[in-house]
Structure 1
Amino acid sequence: MTRDDIDVRPITDDELADWSRALNTGFLRSTPDSRETLDKRRELARGSRILGAFDGGRCVATFRSFPQELTVPGGAAVPADAISNVTVSATHRRRGLLSRMMADDLADAKARGDVVATLIAAEYPIYGRFGFGPATSLSEWAVDVPRAGLDPRRPVPDDGGRIDLVDGEDVRKTGPELHERLRASRPGVIDRDGFWWRRNTGLLETPEEPWKEPFYAVYRAPNGEAEGLIVYSVDDKWSDTKQPHNTATVRDLIAVTPAAERALWHYVCSVDWIATVRTGHRAPDDLLPHLLPDPRAARVVTHADWLWVRILDVVRALEARTYAATGSLVLEVGDAAGLSGGRYRLDAEPGGAVCAPTSEEPELTLDVSELGTLWLGDESAVRLAALGRVREERAGAAAIADALLRTSRRPWCPDIF
């Protein structure tokens, strides 16, 4: 059996069960999907583009993509091709199946006019060869509540605002507007549609995890306007001496003002019986540690790459965002897949930019994957040059790139997909 004998194509609805079995195999989930679970997966996959690789009629590799919007520095959103559910069965590795599925999907995304493709990489070494680069990272803290130094007698905001406990129905009304405000202010944030809010408030269960209702709380400013939302779950652990050792795990926290962020973190750290707060996935420059009287009470437990970006249209990608300074740079962008390589001149200023193909001599040479890493403003071109991942053709070009591209707050993607 050669790789050409394996059929890579969009699946039919009748093939969803076989595709789902291959997906579970790839993610090491041995339990087969029930009819109810398949119905849930069919609902979750609505609007997606689903590819499978078939060997003798059996699905041996899976791939799904769907439309997404990604915020860039300055607040604009660009259309993205979000990639998920990528697996290749252990019996069919090293046959080029992922390469074929990725090539088909990226070519279609380019033809549709998507500016970038995005994914969350389970394994680091895989996706650089397809032109993806890590564009955001995340951190998670564990807060030792007794050590934090907060006054347990003052759990409510001291700014005239208030915290209200709410339910899922309230969240479906309040959450989307709050998230849109966050998305307009933070590069790296992706859109959440009505389907996302139904799924994450229990109206639609995911196939992999039974729904367990969390706690929801909203921060309202003194004028009554909602400015923040926290979603958290709590375990039930007590010591042999009847001391509570419970952990609150934050599943989502949206804050559109510093006051809301402070109030929500102080609130969850003040709930009786909570000894530890796990923050969930936060931006690496999150305010949290320094919102505590003792920042050392917040211990980093996770720090890793998160959202990976693949530039499909260099001109539109660079023109969509704003810049920290005024300047110009000629980039030589390599792209082995032939989707977006070339030489481009970027003329940038705080209000925006003009980018166009050029025949001028390049000043900075880099692969499209490194451009994806730099594009949202998190990484340093000077650092990448020191690592040998970009090359200065003119001395000081990497420093110019940093002056233009870096952002004052680090980009952050709060969601997994």
Structure 2
Amino acid sequence: MSRPRPDIDVRPIGEAEIPEWIRALNTGFLRSPGVSEDEVADRSSYLEPARTLGAFEGGRCVGTFRSFDQRLTVVGGADVPADAVTNVTVTATHRRRGILTRMMAADLGAAKERGDVVATLIAAEYPIYGRYGFGPATTMTEWTVDVPRAGLDPRWAGPEDGGRVDLVDREDVTKLGPELHERLRRRLPGAVSRTERWWQIETGAVHLDRAPWVEPFYAVYRSATGEVEGMAAYRCDEVWEDKQPAETATVRWLIATTPAAERALWLHLCSIDWVTKVRSGWRGPEDLLPLFLPDPRAARITTQADWLWVRILDVVRALQARTYDGEGALVLEITDRAGPAGGRYLLEAGADGASCTATTRAADLTLDVGDLARLWLGDESAARLIALGRVREERAGAGRMADALLRTPGRPWCPDMF
């Protein structure tokens, strides 16, 4: 049980407290707690003081929390304003004292007042965030490809569709990448906006790690008409065993707006001389990668887990923002211990749009706000949650109706860590 400590002050940090806040952040993530002048200058350039919280005991920071503006794409291609949560730590000596609960309450309260529809985060640990109303809304898969077994013999020489794959410099990535990503984001439920700073980090213009910057390779796929439809960043190690190459290509990120671009980039990676293994990085749960290979068994799943967590702050706007393939009405009783999303709502959906209103009608389903987040982007099944006892079916057949309305043919995916 948490033991609130009145002597711990939770509040936005001041400019002079940035070094102490960074020290606490590094400590919480088990990095060396030392703070350099470069790190302070970098953080100072983008931290929003009102959205950067610290928990202080005396003059020492023992908890950190930060949020920033984000856009999250929903089913159908619209997007909603999101409160993106990151840099969450509590120092090991101060756990179980209600520090995170206080920081989370302050941030989510401000987000609700600001008009954000949801809050988002990538959870380092699974058990933490459900108690704050978050639910896992997308999953991710990592693949490892055993290149010699993939069946690319002779190795792939280039696209057969008139397109081409070129290696480019980071200046080209900065010019071409944001527009390409935005095209992808607009059609991919679960995708989030990327800031200019994201591209600066990924091209080395801003360097956060304490190890030296190592520039990756950047590959771009252009269609036969010359349009940029895909881009990837990857690094290769330098490993030889018994005078034989055994290098691994590790993908930092790969985005594509067409299957042709995705196929060309994966086959390029699996056809680089000396590369015997390809690690895919974080991919969507329905990634096409294995099926691009002559022998799909050469690609094995090395990680499969929850990824983007969502906390719905405004049920009405969230349910009205997305589209629905089915048609029907559903009354949802939403429980929310923290308060902002609790209530009973009538969802009426059809091909022409949806309305969501507060209602006194009898509920069809009763569920927690975190489980609503699981259903909202279409990745989870109401029937599964009913079987697990997480959702209560108040009217026979309501689970099937919920799946007909909310479930989507393609699964959502968030390509980003933040």
TM-score (norm 2): 0.97
Poorly superposed stretches of 4+, deviation over 6 Å:
none
Task: Report the equivalent of 2:139.
Answer: 137
Cα distance in 2 for residues equivalent to 1:242 and 1:199: 36
- What SS is found at the alignment partner of 2:159? coil
Map 1:205-284 → 2, pairs under 5 A: 205-207=207-209, 210-239=212-241, 241-284=242-285
**Aligned CA distance change for structure 1 residues 284 and 319 (closer, same or farther; 3 Å):** same
Aligned residues of 2:138 and 2:306 also touching (Cα < 8 A): yes
Task: Report the equivalent of 1:177.
Answer: 179
Cα distance in 1 for residues equivalent to 2:212 and 2:201: 11
Cα distance in 2 for residues equivalent to 1:401 and 1:146: 45
Aligned residues of 2:4 and 2:99 also touching (Cα < 8 A): no
- What SS is found at the alignment partner of 1:3? coil
Q: Deviations over 1:246-285 (max 9, x none)?
A: 0001111111011101111111100100000000000010
- What SS is found at the alignment partner of 1:384? helix
Cα distance in 2 for residues equivalent to 1:90 and 1:238: 42
Aligned residues of 2:13 and 2:49 also touching (Cα < 8 A): no
- What SS is found at the alignment partner of 2:286? coil
1:310 has 2:311 as partner:
yes
The structural deviation recorded for 1:30 is 2.1
Task: Report the equivalent of 2:328.
Answer: 327
Aligned residues of 1:47 and 1:66 also touching (Cα < 8 A): no
- What SS is found at the alignment partner of 1:336? coil
Aligned residues of 1:37 and 1:207 also touching (Cα < 8 A): no
Aligned residues of 1:40 and 1:207 also touching (Cα < 8 A): no
Aligned residues of 1:220 and 1:228 also touching (Cα < 8 A): yes
The structural deviation recorded for 1:408 is 1.4
1:341 has 2:342 as partner:
yes
The structural deviation recorded for 1:164 is 1.1
Aligned residues of 1:48 and 1:65 also touching (Cα < 8 A): no
The structural deviation recorded for 1:327 is 1.2
Cα distance in 1 for residues equivalent to 2:153 and 2:5: 65
- How many correspondences in the alignment? 416
Cα distance in 1 for residues equivalent to 2:50 and 2:139: 26
**Aligned CA distance change for structure 1 residues 326 and 256 (closer, same or farther; 3 Å):** same
The structural deviation recorded for 1:152 is 3.5
Letter in 2 for 1:269: C
The structural deviation recorded for 1:36 is 1.2
TM-score (norm 1): 0.97
Q: Deviations over 1:361-406 (max 9, x none)?
A: 0000000010011111101110000000000000111111111111
Aligned residues of 1:49 and 1:64 also touching (Cα < 8 A): yes
Letter in 2 for 1:29: R
The structural deviation recorded for 1:49 is 1.3
Structure 2 regions of 5+ residues with no counterpart?
none
Letter in 1 for 2:383: V
Cα distance in 2 for residues equivalent to 1:162 and 1:266: 12
- What SS is found at the alignment partner of 2:181? helix
- What SS is found at the alignment partner of 1:185? coil
Letter in 2 for 1:123: E
Task: Report the equivalent of 1:81.
Answer: 83
Cα distance in 1 for residues equivalent to 2:72 and 2:178: 16
Aligned residues of 1:282 and 1:414 also touching (Cα < 8 A): yes
* Larger CA deviation: 402-411 vs 375-384: 402-411
Q: Which of 62, 65, 68 lines up with 1:63 in the alignment?
A: 65
The structural deviation recorded for 1:2 is 6.3
Letter in 1 for 2:377: L
Cα distance in 2 for residues equivalent to 1:244 and 1:43: 43
- What SS is found at the alignment partner of 2:27? helix
Letter in 2 for 1:150: L
Aligned residues of 2:163 and 2:221 also touching (Cα < 8 A): yes
Letter in 1 for 2:265: L
The structural deviation recorded for 1:328 is 1.1
Q: Deviations over 1:55-89 (max 9, x none)?
A: 01111111001111000000111000000111111
Task: Report the equivalent of 2:157.
Answer: 155
